[in-house]
């Protein structure tokens, strides 16, 4: 406990004191010798991964009620096809996609539909969801499957099958996977980049997936290669997981065009654009897609599920979640049914005392929840629980910007957050977007993390972007003929 608090005194590894200087020098030499690739700028937060990195994935029991929001992904919400009172079997489709950029939902457990109504989400507003009362006495066998061989399917069928499986980016992006497999007209995908970086502190679910679900991961990569018609796949793994690198290398069949590349442990190495520039030494053009440079990026968790579900014709009904943080008694990695409320999850792992904050996802980009009734959705890779006295929750005095330039050295897309912050205070939102590339900001949080003046830069930029979006929508509405 004591040790724990000391470790949290600084959230920044290089300043954690000189006691670990030798370790830092050692790490520096390792990097020099191995020369692992990386992107420019970025930060080195304390990882806290040791809490769960050694914990194998365990299955959790079912909660009494599962809450399945209809909007768990980017794009159009799913449309329910079940009625209240209807009994459903685990794996049965309960909502369908009504658009190309959308996915269906499947029942995560055998039970009865109790209601279709509003449920709290981490994003804030309540959104439509299906409430599923679980039959604890049922066998919970998945009856909805249809065995098939992806190796013999044509590209169109695979992409349809990926959509039917309800697969979205499980790394946190939640973008429907089948959309990424179809590059825009005129673009050719030559490389599938498999994202095993997991750069967020605390999270280790992808690490465990690479170690424990290796076979399905390799199968998923083969499916992605086939669907995108790419020539090769590269698995990018941060060098704090060298065990996963050697494990994968040892198990990859020689005849497959799949390689593993260790990249530097640096946040946000797992961001799509950062991984592309680290591994392929090329940049996604401003306003463009990875497909513009011939790349499609998939998270290891997504591909492992793809390798698991597609050959059986099943849908996505569960995912691996890291439950960790200083407030958690028994942190670990768990296979959690989609829709499990965070409250149930925390009850299962036990709490040391009162909670300070609960974050869905990692602490750098995740969302703090307002209610523990919020369910685990397809994009939730972690639940991090902090104690009330956690230094991360300390009230911090905000000073004026002293132009130290730390944020410019941290920003992975080389923006000028110092200037953007001043413009935000002056409400010059259009200048931020027009002259200072605000739209390139993907809210990784590096600038706010390093700012010695405690200026909430990331939040400023979020607000500025949404104000710009609103203004743009108003303009478009005005231009429409009445």
Partner 1 sequence: MSRGIEIRTSPHLKRVVTVDKIMRTVVLALLPIAAFAVWQFGLSALLLLLTTTGVAILTEAFFARVSGRGNTVSDWSVVITGLLLGLTLPPGFPLWMAAVAAFVGVALGKALFGGLGYNVMNPALVGRAFVQAAFPVAITTWTPAFAPGRFTEIIPSTLTPPFMQPIPVDDWVAGLNLDGWSGATPLAIQKFQHIETPLMDTFSGMIAGSAGETSAILILICGLWLAWQRMLDWRIPVSVMAGAVLVALPFWLLDPNIYPSPWFVLCSGGLMLGAWFMASDMVASPVTASGVILYGLFIGALTVVIRLFGGLVEGIMYAILLANALGPLISSWTQPRVYGSK
Site for partner 1 in 32-61 (CB under 8 A): 43, 45-46
Report the residue number, 138 or 351, with the smaller CB distance to partner 1. Answer: 351
**Interaction with partner 1 in 429-448: which residues (CB under 8 A)?**
437, 440, 443-446, 448
| CA 125/CA 59 separation, integer angstroms | 30
* Least CB distance to partner 1 at residue 367 (A): 7
Q: How many residues at the interface with partner 1, by CB under 8 A? A: 74
**Interaction with partner 1 in 194-213: which residues (CB under 8 A)?**
201
**Interaction with partner 1 in 109-168: which residues (CB under 8 A)?**
none
* Least CB distance to partner 1 at residue 233 (A): 23
* Least CB distance to partner 1 at residue 61 (A): 21
Quick check: 419 binds partner 1 (CB under 8 A)?
yes
Three-state secondary-structure class, residue 130: strand
Quick check: 454 binds partner 1 (CB under 8 A)?
yes
| CA 97/CA 396 separation, integer angstroms | 45
Cα–chain-centroid distance for residue 75? 16
> Which DSSP symbol is given to 61?
P
Residues in contact with partner 1, shown as a per-residue x/- string from 282 to 321 under the rule CB under 8 A: -xxxxxx---------------------------------
- Single residue of 408, 428, 430, 467 touching partner 1 by CB under 8 A: 408
The CA–CA distances, whole Å, from 94 to 36, 53, 148 equal: 45, 35, 22
- Taking a C-beta distance cutoff of 8 angstroms, is the pair 449, 406 a contact? no
- Single residue of 85, 186, 400, 481 touching partner 1 by CB under 8 A: 400
- Taking a C-beta distance cutoff of 8 angstroms, is the pair 116, 48 a contact? no
Report the residue number, 335 or 402, with the smaller CB distance to partner 1. Answer: 402
| CA 207/CA 244 separation, integer angstroms | 7
* Least CB distance to partner 1 at residue 146 (A): 40
- Single residue of 462, 465, 467, 468 touching partner 1 by CB under 8 A: 462
The CA–CA distances, whole Å, from 338 to 56, 142, 168, 283 equal: 19, 14, 13, 35
What is the torsional sign of CA 72, 78, 83, 88? Answer: negative
**Interaction with partner 1 in 316-375: which residues (CB under 8 A)?**
354-359, 363-370, 372
* Least CB distance to partner 1 at residue 181 (A): 23
**Cβ of 324: how many Cβ atoms within 10 Å?**
29
> Which DSSP symbol is given to 72?
-
């Amino acid at each position: 406990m004591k040790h724990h608090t000391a470790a949290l005194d600084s959230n920044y590894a290089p300043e954690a004191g000189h006691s670990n200087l030798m370790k830092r020098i050692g790490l520096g030499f390792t990097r020099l010798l191995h020369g692992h690739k990386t992107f420019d700028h970025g930060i080195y937060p304390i990882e806290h991964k040791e809490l769960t990195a050694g914990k194998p994935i365990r299955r959790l029991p079912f909660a009494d009620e599962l809450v399945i929001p209809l909007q768990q992904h980017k794009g159009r919400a799913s449309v329910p096809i079940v009625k209240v009172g209807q009994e459903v079997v685990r794996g049965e489709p309960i909502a369908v996609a009504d658009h190309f950029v959308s996915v269906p939902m499947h029942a995560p457990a055998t039970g009865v539909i109790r209601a279709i109504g509003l449920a709290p989400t981490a994003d804030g507003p309540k959104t439509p969801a299906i409430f599923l009362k679980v039959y604890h006495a049922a066998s919970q066998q998945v009856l909805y499957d249809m065995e098939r061989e992806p190796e013999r399917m044509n590209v169109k069928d695979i992409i349809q099958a990926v959509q039917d499986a309800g697969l979205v980016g499980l790394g946190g992006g939640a973008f429907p996977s089948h959309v990424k497999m179809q590059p825009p007209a005129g673009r050719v995908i030559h490389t599938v980049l498999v994202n095993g970086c997991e750069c967020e502190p605390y999270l280790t679910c992808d690490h465990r997936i690479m170690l424990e679900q290796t076979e399905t991961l390799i199968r998923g990569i083969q499916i992605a290669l086939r669907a995108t018609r790419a020539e090769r796949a590269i698995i990018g793994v941060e060098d704090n997981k060298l065990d996963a690198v050697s494990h994968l290398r040892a198990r990859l069949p020689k005849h497959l065009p799949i390689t593993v590349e260790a990249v530097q442990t640096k946040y946000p190495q797992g961001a799509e654009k950062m991984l592309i520039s680290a591994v392929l030494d090329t940049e996604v053009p401003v306003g463009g897609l990875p497909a513009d440079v011939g790349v499609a990026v998939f998270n290891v968790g997504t591909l492992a599920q793809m390798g698991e579900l597609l050959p059986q014709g099943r849908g996505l009904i569960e995912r691996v979640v890291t439950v960790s943080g200083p407030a958690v008694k028994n942190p670990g990695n768990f296979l959690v049914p989609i829709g499990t409320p965070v409250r149930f999850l925390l009850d299962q792992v036990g709490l040391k005392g009162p909670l300070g904050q609960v974050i869905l996802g990692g602490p750098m980009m995740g969302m703090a929840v307002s209610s523990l009734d919020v369910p685990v959705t397809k994009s939730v890779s972690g639940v991090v629980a902090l104690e009330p006295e956690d230094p991360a929750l300390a009230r911090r005095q905000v000073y004026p910007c002293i132009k130290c330039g730390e944020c410019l050295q941290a920003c992975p897309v080389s923006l000028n957050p110092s200037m953007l912050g001043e413009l935000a205070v002056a409400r010059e939102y259009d200048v931020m977007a027009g002259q200072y590339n605000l739209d390139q900001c993907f809210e990784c949080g590096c600038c706010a993390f390093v700012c010695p003046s405690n200026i909430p830069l990331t939040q400023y930029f979020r607000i500025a972007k949404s104000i710009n979006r609103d203004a743009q929508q108003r303009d478009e509405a005005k231009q429409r003929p009445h």
